[in-house]
Chains A and B, each alone.
Chain A
Amino acid sequence: MINILSYMSIVAIPTMMSIILLHGWIKRINMYDAFVEGAKEGFKTAISIMPYLIAIYIGIGLMRKSGVIDYLINFVKPVMTFIGIPAEILPLAIMRPISGSGTLAVLSDILNTYGPDSFIGRLASTMMGSAETIFYTMAVYFGAVGIRKSRHTVVAALVSHLASVVAAVIICTYFFGV
């Protein structure tokens, strides 16, 4: 099962490439010209997202390295423990939406402290595999097209993140026991 999935992961991109090229071949497109024409846009896009990336990297970097996140964790701890989320994984749950590399450091710390096969270790791994960094993704995607007002995006994303945390706790309790 795992081998099949990991093989699929490796061949997914080559498969998409082959399908596109084969279809183009059948339809007799001048593929070389079409590719180069499309690829030109890549530079423009990369340059245009740069200022937004710099802005969000500074924001996230300051939050993370100044220790603000640690305060945030202490602040919401009572609420989270009340819902039934173990205090040990709180740093991960709070860091996850903010910073990708930050979360990896936290996860690695948790795995080494509690052991990867402990309940906390398994729970942390599950949570890590089930969410993405919200603020960073928003900055890149909105930045690329110049969106300023995000309306309900942040709230919906945070609700979805909270759901993934709660779901991870319930599912892990069911699968692995406490």
Chain B
Amino acid sequence: MNVIWVLMIFTGIVGAILTGKPEVINEVVINDTSEAVVFAIGLTGIMSFWLGLMNIAKKSGLINSFAKSMKPITRFLFPNVPSNHPAIGAMMMNMVANMFGAGNSATALGIKAMEELQKLNNNKRVVTNAMAMFLVINMSSIQLIPLTVLKLRADAGSNNPSEIIITSILATSVSTIVGILACKIMEGKR
């Protein structure tokens, strides 16, 4: 992350100066930082909501039994995570929320999953295979109804805004499978 971040900042600054608009830098520093804070604050509500519900599900044993029923899939994807671990439940719920386009709920559940996965991590600063796999699946995940895209298409005057749903689902399935394979090939042991 260190290298990527410094590279982003540095190329950004150099680029802005070369294209003759250094004022953009100041603009970004002021506006985008406050945007980040607003986003984090906005996430607090939905985050608390899901963590509250997850706590109920944990105490009632629902997460445990749900995670167990997913064992065949999770044992392949996350071999180092015990199948009765709370991380499994959080990851599965994150995937469901993602599929149904509930972006903020998915983020909240995803962060919860990462916290649970971190408990299994021996070296707290280095990502585990399970975390990498979870993130890659998360980032390429299927969304059944891409609402924003449909809205943009409708606004642009499309005759059939929803004709891209099937192609999206197919393309995203390919990317998920490729992502899983890429992880499996590159992960090695840890």
* B132 and A156 contacting across the interface, CB-CB below 8 Å: yes
* B171 and A164 contacting across the interface, CB-CB below 8 Å: yes
* B165 and A167 contacting across the interface, CB-CB below 8 Å: no
Known A47-B40, A116-B156, A129-B146; judge A140-B140 contact (CB<8 A): no
A residues touching B (Cβ–Cβ < 8 Å)? 2, 5-6, 8-9, 12-13, 16-17, 19-21, 23-24, 26-27, 29, 31, 34-43, 45-47, 49-50, 53-63, 65-68, 71, 104, 107-108, 111-112, 115-117, 121-122, 125-135, 137-142, 144-157, 159-161, 163-164, 167-168, 171-172, 175-176
| Chain A residue contacts of B43, Cβ below 8 A | 46, 49
B residues touching A (Cβ–Cβ < 8 Å)? 1-2, 4-5, 8-9, 11-13, 15-16, 19, 21, 24-25, 27-29, 31-33, 35-37, 39-41, 43-45, 47-62, 93, 96-97, 99-102, 105, 107-108, 110-112, 114-115, 117-118, 124-127, 131-132, 135-136, 138-141, 143-149, 152-153, 155-172, 174-176, 178-179, 182-183, 186-187
* A42 and B145 contacting across the interface, CB-CB below 8 Å: no
Q: Find the A residue at minimum CB distance from B2.
A: A148
Q: Find the A residue at minimum CB distance from B7.
A: A59
Instruction: Return B111 CB to nearest CB of chain A, in Å.
Output: 4
Q: Find the A residue at minimum CB distance from B183.
A: A156
* B11 and A155 contacting across the interface, CB-CB below 8 Å: no
User: Main secondary structure on chain B at its contact with chain A?
Assistant: helix
Docked complex Cα distance between A137 and B110 (Å): 10
Instruction: Return B65 CB to nearest CB of chain A, in Å.
Output: 9
Instruction: Return A117 CB to nearest CB of chain B, in Å.
Output: 5
Contact residue among A16, A61, A104, A155 (Cβ-Cβ distance under 8 Å from B96): A16
| Chain B residue contacts of A148, Cβ below 8 A | 1-2, 125-126
5 contacts between A and B (CB under 8 A): A37-B55, A42-B49, A108-B156, A140-B107, A150-B1
* B33 and A163 contacting across the interface, CB-CB below 8 Å: no
| Chain B residue contacts of A60, Cβ below 8 A | 8, 32
Docked complex Cα distance between A68 and B28 (Å): 14
Instruction: Return A147 CB to nearest CB of chain B, in Å.
Output: 5
Task: Identify 20 new A-B residue pairs, CB closer than 8 A, beyond the known A61-B32, A122-B167.
Answer: A23-B57, A26-B60, A29-B59, A35-B56, A37-B55, A38-B58, A42-B49, A45-B111, A59-B9, A112-B156, A117-B160, A122-B163, A122-B164, A137-B138, A147-B126, A152-B182, A152-B186, A157-B135, A159-B179, A175-B167
| Chain B residue contacts of A163, Cβ below 8 A | 174-175, 178-179
* A50 and B36 contacting across the interface, CB-CB below 8 Å: yes
Docked complex Cα distance between A39 and B45 (Å): 9
Q: Find the B residue at minimum CB distance from A156.
A: B182
- 5 A-B pairs with the lowest CB-CB distances in the bound complex, closest first: A62-B12, A38-B55, A42-B48, A160-B179, A129-B168
Known A62-B13, A65-B27; judge A2-B162 contact (CB<8 A): yes
Docked complex Cα distance between A16 and B109 (Å): 13
| Chain B residue contacts of A39, Cβ below 8 A | 48-49, 51-52, 55
Docked complex Cα distance between A168 and B152 (Å): 18
